[in-house]
Structure 1
Amino acid sequence: ETFASVSSSSSSSSFGCMGILSALVVMLAVVVGLVWNQAASPPSLDYGTGSMFDVIAGRYDFVNRALALNMDLSWRRIMVSKLFEDVATTISERPLQFLDLATGTADVSILLAQTAAATESSPMSGIQIKGVDPSANMIAIGRDKVQNLQLENVIQLELGDARELKGIDTGSIHGITMAFGIRNVMEKDLVACEMHRVLTLKGTVAILEFSEPTLEDGGFVGYYLARPFIRHVVPWVGAILSGKPREYLHLQNSISHFPPPSEFTTFLESLSCPVAADDDSNQLKYHGRFRMKSVTQLNFGSVQLYLATPIITTTTTTTTNAKH
């Protein structure tokens, strides 16, 4: 009788475990099916808009941490640290004005405020941060985080388009950050020229972005491990964790089409942004571009940190101070 009871109990447990396992297999099959269907026609490169991020906003931070193995915040800290050190030592006026483009849920804006609190003698009067993002849902989550940290007097978050920074005066910003955002914009030249317009000539832009590692930049680990991880693991895991396969296929798609560091450097240094002359009687044509200060390789060449400063040239390529 005892043996029968034990056998019955074991059988019930086995059937229960098998039921749970079967349910998990079915759920996984559904997700795989969705991903497979989407893979047949991946989203276009212009898919990475505010509306896309509205869809994934609720689980964005969680999925980000999982896909980056919890390293994404450390990359952002490196960006903020390098930018803040560069700007704070170059520019004496206060408060320092920072612009965080593609701010998302405000991770970088918050890190900027925390860095100022740790380094500035009068931190809360020494910095002002504006975060801009095209996703209303991401901004809403960011505002909650800012409020919980009581940073509302330092950080202002608003809906906006990096291609047209309305309400931001020319030459009014000392430092710009853009983390994992510029690859989602088709018109990268418009974004770069708006960055150039609003920066002071002593200012610095810091761009943190993914690219597919090459053997030269990422070495063996980057090319043979990190590259396949980005191509194959990221969209599948992102789809499973978020339930949004199309959005995470776009992530992989946008990374694979983003230029390698040498090409992106050439892009920034070859811009020809229109610049208004201070003297209307001056007939010289002024153009803006960037000078790359440094490119830092992170995570075996799959993440790059670009630091650049704006310069102005004439048609004769003479550097000038026409703006600001």
Structure 2
Amino acid sequence: MASQLALRPSRRIATLITSSRTLRAFSSSTKCLQQSQTTGQDGRTTHFGFETVPEAEKEARVGKVFSSVASSYDTMNDLMSLGIHRLWKDHFVRSLNPGTRSSTSGNSWNILDIAGGTGDIAFRMLDHATNINGDLHSKVLVSDINPDMLAEGQKRSLQTPYANTGRLDFKVGNAEKLDFVESNSIDLYTVAFGIRNFTDKDAAIREAFRVLKPGGVFAVLEFSHVNSSLFNAFYKRWNFGAIPLIGQVVAGDRDSYQYLVESIEKFPTQEEFSSMIQRTGFVVPGKGYENLTGGIASIHKGIKPA
């Protein structure tokens, strides 16, 4: 149903995404890539999409974006990905298999879902643990820096069987400084389509390492980089031509979705991000990542050494 819903708007914009005007706009935007610097201490700059901004400003500007899109976030994800994001999330959760007896807590898992916003991943985690593994005790703490996104998840949670069971909780928090989470207390740390918006990704990964138990898993699902030049050309036309227009038509917010596609372009490559995870001390299985749909998205995992 989601995929069918997504296909109708895409036909209306088919002519737009192939226009030369779109290609010229993308070429102009990519010049800004050279101006961006990495994050650092106070006074340094970072990127907000293709724009270079003071590091201290990024958190507020990202917050404004997600406050703007909170109520239409899942609908826009359906339109942006033609519904495929739901399949990616399902696969992500299955690959983690929450609720198995192999967790560091024995029969139940203590899961932290960062940038969990609307609850998509948390609800899937509990569904899988309960319905697949018969686990009635694993619990998920959903944390997001944006109160508006978190409010959407709390509202939706009332329609799930996990409301008021003690298995699901929500808390506003910054992934770069998880003061409310004890060290060595988490079995599984997940972040889906959120880490590219963090100001200091290395700091967030270090916090993930701190709060995870030995043997715990750090798992990221994020938009990434397409591994086919032909497919990549079409993908960029879609991103930079269609998605901001969809944001304007459906959500009345072109600028926020322009930022979102630029943030995808700025995210490290699969190999670069895997190296960031390893530098923190995680052991990565295999080559460190799994590409989905030709690299449009990737799953990254790291295991904290026992």
Q: TM-score, normalised by structure 1?
A: 0.72
Distance 2:108 2:73 in 1: 31
Q: Percent identity?
A: 24
1:22-69 deviation digits (Å, cap 9, x = unpaired): xxxxxxxxxxxxxx9xx8996557366333211111111111111110
1:228-257 deviation digits (Å, cap 9, x = unpaired): 322332222223221111211111111111
Q: Give the CA deviation at 1:88.
A: 4.6
Structure 1 237/291 Cα, relative in aligned 2: closer, same or farther at 3 Å? same
1:116-136 deviation digits (Å, cap 9, x = unpaired): 111233x222x0100000111
* Alignment partner, residue 135 of structure 1: 146
* Alignment partner, residue 301 of structure 1: 295
Structure 1 60/109 Cα, relative in aligned 2: closer, same or farther at 3 Å? same
| SS class of match (1:178) | strand
1:228 aligns with 2:237: yes
Do 1:130 and 1:157's aligned partners in 2 also have CA atoms closer than 8 Å? yes
* Alignment partner, residue 32 of structure 1: none
- Alpha-carbon RMSD across the aligned residues, in angstroms, is 2.6
Structure 1 196/244 Cα, relative in aligned 2: closer, same or farther at 3 Å? same
Matched to 2:140, the amino acid is I
Do 1:130 and 1:155's aligned partners in 2 also have CA atoms closer than 8 Å? yes
* Alignment partner, residue 208 of structure 1: 221
Q: Which one of 104, 112, 125 corresponds to residue 99 of structure 1? A: 112
Matched to 1:119, the amino acid is I
Q: Give the CA deviation at 1:87.
A: 6.5
Count of matched residue pairs:
255
* Alignment partner, residue 149 of structure 1: 160
Do 2:101 and 2:107's aligned partners in 1 also have CA atoms closer than 8 Å? no
Q: Which one of 120, 123, 136 corresponds to residue 124 of structure 1? A: 136
Q: How does 1:1-324 map to 2 (within 5 A)?
A: 44=52, 46=58, 49-84=62-97, 88-91=101-104, 93-121=106-134, 123-125=135-137, 127-152=138-163, 153=165, 154-213=167-226, 217-218=227-228, 220-221=230-231, 223-271=232-280, 289-293=281-285, 294-311=288-305
* Alignment partner, residue 18 of structure 1: none
Do 1:291 and 1:310's aligned partners in 2 also have CA atoms closer than 8 Å? yes
Q: TM-score, normalised by structure 2?
A: 0.76
Matched to 1:139, the amino acid is L
Of 90-99 and 177-186, deviating more is 90-99
Which 5+ residue runs of structure 1 have no aligned equivalent? 1-35, 272-288, 312-320
* Alignment partner, residue 39 of structure 2: none
Structure 1 132/157 Cα, relative in aligned 2: closer, same or farther at 3 Å? same
1:174-215 deviation digits (Å, cap 9, x = unpaired): 0011001110012001100010000011111110111231xx
Structure 1 249/114 Cα, relative in aligned 2: closer, same or farther at 3 Å? same
Structure label with greater radius of gyration: 1
Q: Give the CA deviation at 1:89.
A: 3.0
Distance 2:120 2:268 in 1: 25
Q: Give the CA deviation at 1:220.
A: 3.6
Do 2:99 and 2:129's aligned partners in 1 also have CA atoms closer than 8 Å? no
Do 2:89 and 2:121's aligned partners in 1 also have CA atoms closer than 8 Å? yes
Q: Give the CA deviation at 1:262.
A: 0.7
Which 5+ residue runs of structure 2 have no aligned equivalent? 1-24, 33-48
1:144-202 deviation digits (Å, cap 9, x = unpaired): 11111131221101111111112211010000110011100120011000100000111
